[in-house]
Amino acid sequence: MRIVNSLDDLLRLPRDRYVNGFGARMAVQLEIPTLARHALIRAQRPLNRLQSRCGCVAGAIAMLASLVVGTAQVYSRNAGTLSWNAVTQFAAVLLAAFVFGFAAKMITLIATRWQFARECRVQHRALARQQGDTEPSDG
């Protein structure tokens, strides 16, 4: 778990590869002492929701769709006969399915990284506004 102790840490969070990387990601916990606990929990929920996205579903859907379409094409071209041509075509379909699945997963991860960075900026602005409202004035 990555603990954020200041608003500046929140802005640096998207550059942390363990929090916003392509591998396994750590959850975020906001522990900023000058802000109310309910505001911190409300701010960390969308960040952790983005952390749970890993792109596996998008990769699986792309892989399954390309595998079904490719297998149907190989079957229709070879009309049920098993030949070396059909086997090589099916091997090409398997390779293409893995490539499409990997590409879909990477695209999803890139989009999620961008969304996480944007959400960090949004939460930073909201928390900074709230922090400014709670500080006593010198008047």
Q: Which of 103, 120, 102 is nearest to 19 (CA)?
A: 120
Average pLDDT, the chain: 87
This prediction has a pTM of 0.78
Residue with tokens 């939460």: 123
Q: What is the mean pLDDT of residues 12-32?
A: 87
Percent of the chain whose pLDDT exceeds 90: 37
Strand partners, 3: 29
Q: What is the pLDDT of residues 49-96, one digit of tens each?
A: 888 877 788 889 999 999 999 989 888 888 767 788 888 999 999 999
On the question of pLDDT at 139 being above 50, the answer is no
Q: What is the mean pLDDT of residues 106-114?
A: 91
Measured CA to CA, the distance from residue 81 to residue 100 in angstroms comes to 27
